[in-house]
Amino acid sequence: MKATTEHHIDPQSARSSLHEFLFENSIPKASTKEGIWYINIGLEISSVKGMCLLWCTNSHSHVVQHVTGISEQHAICITELGSQQYA
């Protein structure tokens, strides 16, 4: 569910946000250990002038690899434009 939670970039805030997300969407905590998940990571950096910077798409495979533990080649494959697993 896009744009449902925001948190600071630290483990405690991420954990708290995840628990809040699961609760608000009636998702049992046990389901995080199994099932099919879609990764949607958003990072926005804004300047003091209110200008927004966008995240380079060539970083997506690195983040997916780190978060999921899959091989670099698999992460590259599923994050390429045209992949059925990438939107």
Burial of 76 from C-beta contacts in 10 A (0-12 / 13-18 / 19+): middle
Q: In the prediction, which pLDDT does 72 show?
A: 94
pLDDT in tens, the chain (87 residues): 556 677 777 889 888 888 888 888 888 887 777 766 666 666 666 678 877 666 677 888 888 888 888 999 999 998 888 887 776
Tokens 């708290």 map to which residue?
Answer: 16
pLDDT confidence of residue 73:
93
- Model-level pTM? 0.44
